[in-house]
């Protein structure tokens, strides 16, 4: 049945619409701001982790500087909304700012990607780390523009557009989830397309596709740019949520977070990183509510996943109950 | 960017000498830590993300010994040895399980240990800054003046200690049987095993030596400044920079790269105070782009 095929767009769109309505009904049934906040963050961080998983899970490239694009998206949106341009664009400011955030982070990803994809293995990881820390240092050095180590302070306006007022918690919740679901559905199309299988082919045996006349480097670069722009989109949503942008978002520890999510959820299933984001956020919320020693608990959980389960939770569930 | 300030400094002997000495101190302390990291990578093939946490442990251990005995030399040596022993356990219990795993697993395992250790030291020693217990009396003398440049004696002591350790390390690696075995294990461990050498012992010993070096760096740093949870993070990144610039696994490369980074930090602080860290990462990017194997690394 074509409807059940993995790359069926109508099926995915239907599931997306269903999930969206379900979460909106959920919002009204459970009126607890804490839970809504977790769900929003799971989608934002899930987008971030899923974008990194294009490189890690499907391409086998361990990028360790992915937060650079997250921060670029956040700062682009914040700086645009703080500028005088908002008065010119009025109601269209937020959509324009988000598009701009994606464009700027994909431009940065193009520049960094062209240089990084020439390197392999550990050298690739170190170069992405170096670029990220260079961007972190630039953010700290440009005090006049970025606010240095204080971050983008003073907030920014969020003018309503198309009847959506992001200052309103419900509008923000529905909007964030809507944008995330659309991105996830598009990503699914990409991953199940011939291009996506090309990425898996490069991961599994890079010499074979190359000898078949396949342009490995171009595939890697396109994947890198797409991953960077989705991370930028996630960063812009995070900046809208926090009404600011902070240099820690460009620090290397921020790049470790999506790695944890990918590990917890699973890198070999499409929605694994999203599930990882859910585990990560719930753990974060539960542990910080009970103890100050969050790092200790997170460290032990990661250790038990690395040495015990040896794969992400969704990967494990799929192998146990579905893929047999 | 204040390049004129830099120019002023270079033409004045006082500034030039004090900045060079300061850079040398940073460089030698960094070399102690980074040489351990590059040694472990060269032989074990493991990127030890927990190296900075070992450095932090060294600082806490020596602070503890210092507060009990009040003896500086004892605190540094026991602190470093304690971290060496901890490293041995760490290698046997955790690291030895992931020798053949991929990079992601290695990073995550080591990073989880960093998270755990950062919180454990807070539970044991509290989350306040522990202030340095002061310099030993022999260093509590007026600073040296060379061409009006002020050089604290303790900095000279640190430079000397690190230099002795560097020479010792070179001697072990180049002239002893153990050094030959370690180099052989780095190049072809299977062959070495076929010749009847237990490479597991060599790996454990190398990891212990690497941890000892990190602990020594931390123990010396504890007498210079305060001790706090998470203090290993910045030195970890700097050690990565040194390892990459020098060539992964090359100890002499690490020495050269430490000097470059030390001077870049010392003089960069005058020329671009806000971008000193950025300068290091810029050098790292340039080396990786132009010569990925590092200044003194072998092309594979």
Tens digit of pLDDT per residue, chain B (300 long)? 567 777 777 777 777 788 888 888 889 889 999 999 998 988 888 888 899 999 999 999 988 888 888 778 888 899 899 999 999 999 888 888 888 788 888 888 999 999 999 889 888 887 777 776 666 666 666 666 766 667 777 778 888 888 898 888 888 888 888 888 888 888 888 888 888 888 888 889 999 999 999 999 998 888 777 788 878 888 899 999 999 998 888 888 889 999 999 998 888 888 887 888 888 899 999 998 888 888 887 755
What is the structure's pLDDT at B165? 87
Instruction: Work out the minimum CA distance from A6 to partner chain B, whole angstroms.
Output: 28
Give the nearest partner residue to B115 out of A56, A136, A299, using CB atoms: A299
Contact B277 A138 (CB under 8 A): no
What is the structure's pLDDT at A54? 93
Mutation target for A interface from B116, B123, B243: give the one with most A CBs within 10 A. Answer: B116
Integer angstrom CA distances of residue A53 from A47, A59, A230, A295? 10, 8, 11, 23
Range scoring the smallest mean pLDDT among A186-195, A234-243, B68-77, B133-142 = B133-142
**Residues in contact with B138: Cβ distance below 8 Å, sequence separation at least 6, in sequence order:** none
What is the structure's pLDDT at B101? 80
Other beta carbons within 10 Å of B168 = 10
String of DSSP letters for A77-94:
HHHHHHSTHHHHHGGGHH
What is the structure's pLDDT at A106? 95
What does the pLDDT average to over A227-250? Answer: 91
What is the structure's pLDDT at A5? 66
CB A274 within 8 A of CB A232: no
Backbone angles phi, psi at B251, to 5 degrees: -75, -40
Separation CA B161–CA B58 (nearest Å): 16
Separation CA A204–CA B214 (nearest Å): 37
A304: left (phi over 0), alpha (psi -120 to 50) or beta: alpha
Which residues 116-155 of A are in CB contact (within 8 Å) with B? 119, 121-123, 125-127, 129-131, 133-134, 136-138, 140-141, 143, 148
Q: Which two tokens stand for residue A312?
A: 């992400």
Handedness of CA B96, B102, B103, B108 (dihedral sign): negative
Other beta carbons within 10 Å of A159 = 17
Give the nearest partner residue to B237 out of A123, A133, A300, using CB atoms: A133
Q: How many domains does chain A have?
A: 1
Contacts of A112 in chain B (CB under 8 A): none
Which residues 115-134 of B are in CB contact (within 8 Å) with A? 115-116, 118-120, 122-123
Contacts of B281 in chain A (CB under 8 A): 130-131, 133-134, 137
Q: Does B103 touch chain A (CB under 8 A)?
A: yes
Domain range spanning residue A80? 2-249
For residue B149, give the 3-state DSSP assignment.
Answer: strand
Give the nearest partner residue to A121 out of B103, B112, B274, using CB atoms: B103
Q: Report ipTM for this prediction.
A: 0.88
What is the structure's pLDDT at A75? 93
Closest CA to B103 of A183, A28, A55: A55
Q: Does B141 touch chain A (CB under 8 A)?
A: no
What is the structure's pLDDT at A109? 94
- Asked, for residue A291, whether it belongs to a domain, the answer is no
A14: left (phi over 0), alpha (psi -120 to 50) or beta: alpha
CATH of domain B3-290: 1.10.3470
What is the structure's pLDDT at B136? 65
pTM: 0.89
- Asked, for residue A314, whether it belongs to a domain, the answer is no
- Asked, for residue A312, whether it belongs to a domain, the answer is no
pLDDT digits (tens, 9 = 90+) for B242-273: 999 988 888 888 899 999 999 988 888 888 87
Separation CA B277–CA B265 (nearest Å): 7
CB B135 within 8 A of CB B222: no
């Amino acid at each position: 049945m074509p409807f059940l095929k993995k790359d069926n767009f109508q099926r995915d769109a239907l599931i997306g619409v269903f999930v969206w309505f379900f979460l909106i009904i959920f919002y009204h049934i459970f009126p607890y701001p804490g839970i809504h906040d977790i769900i929003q963050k799971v989608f934002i961080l899930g987008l971030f982790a899923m974008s990194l998983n294009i490189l890690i899970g499907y391409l086998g490239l361990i990028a360790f500087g992915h937060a650079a694009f997250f921060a670029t998206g956040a700062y682009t949106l914040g700086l645009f909304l703080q500028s005088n341009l908002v008065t010119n664009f009025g109601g269209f400011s937020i959509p324009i700012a988000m598009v701009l955030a994606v464009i700027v982070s994909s431009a940065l990803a193009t520049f960094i990607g062209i240089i990084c994809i020439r390197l392999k293995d550990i050298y690739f990881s170190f170069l992405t780390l170096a670029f990220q820390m260079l961007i972190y240092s630039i953010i700290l050095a440009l005090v006049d523009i970025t606010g240095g180590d204080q971050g983008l302070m003073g907030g920014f306006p969020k003018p309503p557009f198309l009847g959506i007022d992001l200052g309103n918690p419900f509008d923000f919740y529905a909007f964030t989830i809507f944008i995330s679901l659309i991105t996830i559905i598009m990503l699914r199309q990409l991953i199940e397309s011939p291009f996506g299988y090309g990425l898996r082919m490069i991961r599994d045996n890079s010499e074979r596709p190359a000898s078949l006349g396949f342009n490995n480097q171009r595939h890697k670069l396109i994947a890198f740019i797409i991953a960077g722009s989705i991370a930028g989109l996630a960063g812009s949503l995070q900046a809208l949520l926090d009404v600011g942008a902070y240099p820690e978002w460009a620090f290397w520890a921020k790049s470790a977070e999506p790695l944890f999510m990918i590990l917890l959820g699973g890198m070999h299933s499409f929605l694994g990183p999203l599930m990882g984001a859910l585990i990560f956020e719930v753990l974060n919320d539960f542990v910080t509510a009970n103890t100050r020693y969050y790092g200790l608990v997170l460290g032990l959980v990661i250790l038990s996943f690395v040495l015990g389960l040896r794969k992400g939770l969704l990967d494990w569930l799929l192998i146990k109950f579905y893929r047999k | 960017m204040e390049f004129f300030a830099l120019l002023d400094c270079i033409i004045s002997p006082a500034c030039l000498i004090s900045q060079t000495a300061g850079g040398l101190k940073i460089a030698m302390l960094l070399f102690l830590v980074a040489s351990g990291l590059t040694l472990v990578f060269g032989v074990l093939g493991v990127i030890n993300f927990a190296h900075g946490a070992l450095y932090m442990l060294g600082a806490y251990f020596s602070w503890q010994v210092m507060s009990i005995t009040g003896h500086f030399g004892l605190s540094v040596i026991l602190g470093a040895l304690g971290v060496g022993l901890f490293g041995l356990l760490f290698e046997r219990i955790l690291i030895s399980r992931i020798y053949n795993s991929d990079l992601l697993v290695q990073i995550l395992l080591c990073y989880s240990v960093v998270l755990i250790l950062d919180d454990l030291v807070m539970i044991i020693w509290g989350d306040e800054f522990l202030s340095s217990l002061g310099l030993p009396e022999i260093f509590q003398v007026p600073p040296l003046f060379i061409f009006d440049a002020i050089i604290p004696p303790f900095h000279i002591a640190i430079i000397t200690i690190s230099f002795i350790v560097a020479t010792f390390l070179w001697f072990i690696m180049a002239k002893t049987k153990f050094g030959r075995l370690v180099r052989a294990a780095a190049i072809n461990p299977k062959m070495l095993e076929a010749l009847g050498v237990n490479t597991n012992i060599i790996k454990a010993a190398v990891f212990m030596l690497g941890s000892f070096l990190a602990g020594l760096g931390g123990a010396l740093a504890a007498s210079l400044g305060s001790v706090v949870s998470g203090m290993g993070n910045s030195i970890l990144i700097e050690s990565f920079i040194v390892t990459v610039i020098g060539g992964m696994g090359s100890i002499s490369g690490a020495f050269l790269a430490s000097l470059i980074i030390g001077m870049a930090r010392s003089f960069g602080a005058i020329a671009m105070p806000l971008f000193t860290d950025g300068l290091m990462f810029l050098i790292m990017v340039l080396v990786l782009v132009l010569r990925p194997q590092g200044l003194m690394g072998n092309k594979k």
